[in-house]
Amino acid sequence: MHPFTSRPTASVAALGETRLIASIRRWLGTASPPAPFGIGDDCAVLPPSRSRQLLTVDPVIHGVHFDDSVLPRAVGAKLLKRNLSDLAAMGGRPAAAVISLALAPQVKLAWLEAFYRGLAVTARRFRVPIVGGDVATQPGGLVATLTLLGEVAGPRVLTRTGARTGDRIFVTGVLGGSLASGHHHRFIPRLAEGAWLARQSGVRSLMDVSDGLAKDLPALTPAGARAELNTATLPRRRGCDVRAALCDGEDYELLFALNGKTETEKFQAAWRRAFPRTRLTCIGRFVQASRPRAADALRLDDYQGFEHLRELNGRKKAQAAQKQFGRKR
Amino acid sequence: MHPFTSRPTASVAALGETRLIASIRRWLGTASPPAPFGIGDDCAVLPPSRSRQLLTVDPVIHGVHFDDSVLPRAVGAKLLKRNLSDLAAMGGRPAAAVISLALAPQVKLAWLEAFYRGLAVTARRFRVPIVGGDVATQPGGLVATLTLLGEVAGPRVLTRTGARTGDRIFVTGVLGGSLASGHHHRFIPRLAEGAWLARQSGVRSLMDVSDGLAKDLPALTPAGARAELNTATLPRRRGCDVRAALCDGEDYELLFALNGKTETEKFQAAWRRAFPRTRLTCIGRFVQASRPRAADALRLDDYQGFEHLRELNGRKKAQAAQKQFGRKR
């Protein structure tokens, strides 16, 4: 659905701010607790947290993270789920979220209602109260920004650092083709898997794959090491080649390093018992950077994951890129 | 400073995402702790919180919350301060902030650097670590969204509800003329005052004035009551009439209800000892709505504070409104 309309009576401007906020509260329903624990005061009031806390923020932007082919309820769901994926990547569980909207007055009321209803369904499913927000106009476009507060689910928080040379590299699910397949809005954030991984002592570091393995894996790679990938085992979505699996991005899968001394088969058996329906693949390991490379070895530098702004150097390129949904996120 | 440039080499697109994020970390300096406590991992890790917590989000948008006449460092400062004002309005103190940017590739690097440096100075001043964020492109415009996490500073959190008929109404500082005077970006959020008010048992409810007293006061007014204002005592900024004081908005002052049984003079004397340089004015009281109104009484309904989208019903009006900076926030 196209989010904009030229009919004033069908636009958010027809309501004005006060009535729009009242509508938003109705659309969110039980996903938003009453003030001061939810929308309606200067801040939302949250209970104390005994665990260490996690905080992350990500937006969805029209023409960047979604286009007119994506249903607005899926856009609302995606906004929350991409933040939940960041939380999963630290072994966390959600506590509360706030959402800020910057929208052109021409945004369709029907679009916005479906967006919020999709967000509310997802918030209830993952037990994330939407506790506050802000609505403001901007001259054009549509930006929805969600900030997610969570807490560490277990005794340990997993970060991107901690992997060592000799560690094995694992990834969940399959990679590539996220946009064409609709995975970019249909994915289920790997919260249970992330919390489970944080409880396994052999797991040394964890992140989610959102910009493509080629761009994200270097963040997990320890100093003085390089990732030696087994291209044959790279789990690819149907119809995707190695390049797509490495570069497409928006996979929202978990990528982690397992201590080389951990018994891999035992670990994988435990995984299958915990998550019989979630594929887990060992895709390679970290080796010393100085170690000679096999002639047919994959060079990650030859591939580029998604990078905001990268292809936008110059106005013409920028305009071309705008039309090409999915190359910027 | 105009935030956009047609020279690609002077724009954020010249850097690309990875180098831009590295620059942002440099610009923030000590205002941003190292990962995983700051920028650099999937989430920021924060310590547990023993107190109840507070969460709020507010953006600054080009053409809405600032125009080219406002220096970019003041825009960065304003973004944090308007969120701090919301925290002050609950009697809270800040814990951490995250910031999400949606920007056109044509945004000037020099503008963005000054914006972040202004944000960093303000963050250090108010001891708010900037722990994370996101940078994404949007086809046009510039939206910066800050989410602020805080905690209740004392034993009590003050909300907008709790006032009763008979309570006196107080406001800090002076009202009106915020845009013309530059107050909208120069104001100091009333954190110390908010925390002090939360410790006074006579104070029943508290909020900040951001959309203008005429729009904000009804939120503090108890059911079955109306606000009887003493127009003569309304603290107005130099050059402002009553309408400007009631409607201009962006005052970022504190508005609260004091139990009618509290000895007002003692209360005001205590205030003067605590805040000798912050004006405090009793502007009226809440009376029963059924009580006859004096012929010359102020009717708040005759005045309208700022409301997003209100004047934007229809494209022509919207375009006219875009040009008129300050009528939308």
Contact B309 A17 (CB under 8 A): yes
CATH number at B168-302? 3.90.650.10
Rounded to the nearest angstrom, the minimum Cα separation between A67 and chain B is 12
The H or E element containing residue A256 is: strand A253-258
Amino acid B12: pLDDT: 92
Amino acid B9: pLDDT: 92
pLDDT at B130 over 60: yes
Using the CB atoms, write b or e for B117-126: b if 16+ within 10 Å.
bbbbbbbeeb
Q: How far apart are the first and last CA of chain B?
A: 20
Contact A43 B87 (CB under 8 A): yes
Nearest CA in chain A to B50: A48
Nearest CA in chain B to A93: B43
Contact A308 B135 (CB under 8 A): yes
pLDDT-derived band of residue B308, with 50, 70 and 90 as boundaries? low
Amino acid A47: pLDDT: 95
Amino acid B18: pLDDT: 86
Domains B8-152 and B168-302 agree in fold: no
Rounded to the nearest angstrom, the minimum Cα separation between B229 and chain A is 23
pLDDT-derived band of residue B179, with 50, 70 and 90 as boundaries? very high
Kindly state the DSSP code that residue A128 receives in the 8-state scheme.
Answer: -
The minimal CB distance from B308 to the residues A6, A17, A47 is found for A17
pLDDT at B182 over 70: yes
B96 close to B37: Cβ distance less than 8 angstroms = no
Domain ranges of chain A: 8-152, 168-302
List CB contacts (< 8 A) between A143 and chain B.
102, 138, 143, 145
Contact B140 A136 (CB under 8 A): no
Contact A137 B309 (CB under 8 A): yes
Which of A65, A101, A308 should be substituted to probe chain B, the one whose Cβ sees the most B Cβ atoms within 10 Å?
A308
Contact B48 A50 (CB under 8 A): yes
List CB contacts (< 8 A) between B133 and chain A.
57
Contact A57 B314 (CB under 8 A): no
Is the pTM above the cut of 0.80?
yes
The minimal CB distance from A143 to the residues B44, B143, B322 is found for B143
Nearest CA in chain A to B318: A105
The minimal CB distance from A312 to the residues B102, B105, B131 is found for B105
SS (H, E, C) chain B: CCCECCCHHHEHHHCCHHHHHHHHHHHHHHHCCCCCCCECECCEEECCECCCEEEEEEEEEECCCECCCCCHHHHHHHHHHHHHHHHHCCCEEEEEEEEEEEECCCEEHHHHHHHHHHHHHHHHHCCCCEEEEEEEECCCCEEEEEEEEEEECCCCCCCCCCCCCCCEEEEECCECCHHHHCHHHHCCCCHHHHHHHHCCCCEEEEEEECCCHHHHHHHHCCCCEEEEECHHHCCECCCCCHHHHHHCCCCCEEEEEECCCCCHHHHHHHHHHHCCCCCEEEEEEEEECCCCCCCCCCCHHHCCCCCCCCCCCCHHHHHHHHHCCCCCC
The minimal CB distance from A137 to the residues B42, B89, B312 is found for B312
Amino acid B309: pLDDT: 60
A8-152 topology per CATH: 60s Ribosomal Protein L30; Chain: A; (3.30.1330)
Rounded to the nearest angstrom, the minimum Cα separation between B316 and chain A is 10
Residue A261, both tokens: 């001394």
Contact B310 A40 (CB under 8 A): no
Rounded to the nearest angstrom, the minimum Cα separation between A166 and chain B is 22
Contact B106 A59 (CB under 8 A): no
List CB contacts (< 8 A) between A207 and chain B.
41-42
What is the phi/psi pair of residue A286, to 5°? -90, 125
pLDDT-derived band of residue B23, with 50, 70 and 90 as boundaries? very high
Rounded to the nearest angstrom, the minimum Cα separation between A121 and chain B is 22
User: What is the amino acid identity at position B295?
Assistant: A
Per-residue pLDDT of chain A (329 residues; tens, 9 = 90+): 899 999 999 999 998 888 999 999 999 999 999 989 989 899 999 999 999 999 999 999 999 999 999 999 999 999 999 999 999 999 999 999 999 999 999 999 999 999 999 999 999 999 999 999 999 999 899 999 999 999 998 889 999 999 999 999 999 999 999 999 999 999 999 999 999 999 999 999 999 999 999 999 999 999 999 999 998 999 999 999 999 999 999 999 999 999 999 999 999 999 999 999 999 999 999 999 999 988 777 888 788 766 666 543 333 333 333 333 433 34
Mean pLDDT of chain B: 91
Contact A145 B145 (CB under 8 A): yes
The minimal CB distance from B136 to the residues A64, A133, A207 is found for A64
List CB contacts (< 8 A) between B42 and chain A.
56, 86-87, 89-90, 160, 207-208
Which of B11, B41, B316 should be substituted to probe chain A, the one whose Cβ sees the most A Cβ atoms within 10 Å?
B41
Rounded to the nearest angstrom, the minimum Cα separation between A208 and chain B is 8
The minimal CB distance from B63 to the residues A139, A157, A328 is found for A139
